[in-house]
Copies of this chain bind each other. A is one copy, B any other.
Amino acid sequence: MEQRLSLVTLGVRDLARARKFYEQGLGWTRSAGVEGEVAFYQLGGMILALWGRDALAEDARAEAVAIAPGKSFGGMALAYNARDEAAVDAVLKEAEAAGATVLKPAAKTSWGGYAGYFADPDGHPWEVAWNPFWTLKADGTVSLEAPE
C-alpha cells in the first residue's frame, strides 16, 4: 500500500446544511457531486466528500460489523484509491494479513467502480477503491477530473 490518502468522507445528517457550512460559511467551492446525495471538494491532491452518515455507515458495513471492542462508528472514513481492481484486492489482503478487519470484501460498486473496506486495529475505516472516473496521477495525487 503506497503511503498516501485519496479521500476523506464526512458522514452528514443533512447534506444541504453541511454544504452550506463548507461552501457559504467557509468559502469552499464544490468540485463535483450529485445533487442531494454527495458533494466532493478538491483539496490539493486529495478529495473531501460529504455524504449521508447512514449511507456511509451502510457502505462501510461500519455499524453491522464489530469494528473493535467498545468502538462506535465515528461517521468519518478514509479512502485509498488503487490503480486497478487487482490492486484493490492486493491492498485488502495486505491489510488483513497485517491485522486489519475486512469490513466489506471488494466488489463491483453501484457507481461503476470496485471497492472494499477494512478497519485498522483501532477501528478506523479505510475504503480501498478503484475509480475509473477520477484521475490517479503517477505521484499518487487524485483529481476529480476524468482521466484522459
Contacts and interface: CB of A to CB of B under 8 A. Distances in A.
A31 to B, nearest CB: 9
A26 B74 contact: no
Interface string A68-103: 000111111010000000000000001101111000
Nearest to A76: B76
Contacts of A25: 94-95, 97-100
A70 to B, nearest CB: 9
Contacts of A11: 122
Nearest to A98: B25
Query: Looking at chain A, what size class is its interface with the partner chain?
Result: 35 or more
A78 B75 CA distance: 13
Given A74-B72, A74-B76, A99-B21, A122 B43 contact: no
A27 B48 contact: no
Given A8-B5, A122-B75, A95 B44 contact: no
Most buried by B among A97, A99, A121: A121
Contacts of A53: 122
